[in-house]
Structure 1
Amino acid sequence: MTPADDFPTAPVLLYDGVCGVCNSAVRTILRHDRRGTLLFAALDSDFARETIARHPELAGADTAVFVRDAGRPSETAYLRSTALLQVAAYLGGWWRLTLTAYVIPRVARDWLYERFATVRYRIGGRHDTCPIPTADVRNRFLDSAYG
């Protein structure tokens, strides 16, 4: 295993890199991230594959994944609606209002998430490849192709 020093200290959001809705969400997060530290990796990136290998429950997952403490013994991966709520908590400010959704049972939140996920390409389109981030935020994407 790679030493923990080789892993990012900031949280990482794994997302569907070819999904138009997902890419729009990433751009929105980048605009609202006051700390400027949240990192991103497409689900088909090396970083995501390594993370998924450490978490068997993520195998075959085609969903947002919020990763805290990547590569450390305390590494935690949050899926689906909980991943999005973790992003909201990270962003802080008025985004924290969405945390009231925690009163909805996870199974119901995830059911709604999955219903939306099944139509996301029809709503936001699908890219042939993962769009390349702009130079000013490229360092926040964990993919060697962008470096």
Structure 2
Amino acid sequence: MGFAIGGSVKLLCGLPHTTQTQSQANCSNSMALLLPPSAAVGRFSSTVSSLRPRKLNNTFATLSQTWSEEANWVEATSSFFDQDKRPIMLFDGVCNLCNGGVKFVRDNDRNKTIRYEPLQSEAGKMLLRRSGRAPDDISSVVLVENDRSYIKSEAVLKIMEYIDFPFPQLAFLVQFVPLFIKDFAYDNVANNRYTIFGRSESCEI
């Protein structure tokens, strides 16, 4: 359930991948921030080059480089959406709460509108980079669409919009709660998920 450029490529859980660890191999049925196109990045870089003072110039140059890297990862992971436009839910593969959440979503997704991929897999790490996040950041569920990604409480609400009644309606109501309150609640659960719910040695999905 991972993906790598070059090397031996196989197909598992709907995504191309190289040989994985045992924990990743146990997974099955798997498989953002709005990113600027490369042309826009180039125009942004040209504008930045004329700014003064130098410190401000360097700051924007760093931002431009970061966006350019994200655009490159969009291209590198484009094959994940070439034949299948369904969004991909990235989750912590060894978290009991997260595995339970994936099972719940899958059981309430009769039309199979969502794919799943552990954050720890190679494909998961690439999709994290596509979303502008560090490849080892497993602090939040991430929902990756073809042109955008969602994290924390926004990811949860977006997932609810995709699955069966009554969850889209519940998501509509919860969206009126201020984001900082929703993310505060999300972070409190996420930061204590191993303590409260435990963890497993391998991905159970």
Q: Same fold per TM (> 0.5)?
A: yes
Aligned: 1:111 with 2:187: no
Paired residues of 1:43 and 1:62 also in contact (CA < 8 A): no
Relative distance call for 1:6 and 1:63 in structure 2 (3 A) is closer
Counterpart code for 2:95: C
Q: Work out the CA distance in 1 between the residues paired with 2:166 and 2:192.
A: 27
Deviating beyond 4 angstroms after TM superposition, the runs of 4 or more aligned structure 1 residues are: none
1:11-50 alignment runs, 5 A limit: 11-50=87-126
Counterpart code for 2:157: L
Paired residues of 1:65 and 1:77 also in contact (CA < 8 A): yes
Relative distance call for 1:6 and 1:15 in structure 2 (3 A) is closer
For residue 67 of structure 1, report the CA deviation from its aligned partner: 0.8
Aligned: 1:4 with 2:78: yes
Aligned: 1:55 with 2:131: yes
1:61-72 alignment runs, 5 A limit: 61-69=138-146
The alignment yields a C-alpha RMSD, in angstroms, of: 1.7
TM-score, normalised to structure 1's length?
A: 0.78
Structure 1: runs of 5+ lacking an equivalent: 70-74, 134-147
Relative distance call for 1:5 and 1:61 in structure 2 (3 A) is closer
Structure 2: runs of 5+ lacking an equivalent: 1-74
Query: Which structure's relative contact order is higher, taking Cα pairs within 8 Å and 6+ residues apart?
Result: 1
Aligned: 1:120 with 2:120: no
Relative distance call for 1:53 and 1:5 in structure 2 (3 A) is closer
Larger radius of gyration: 2
TM-score, normalised to structure 2's length?
A: 0.57
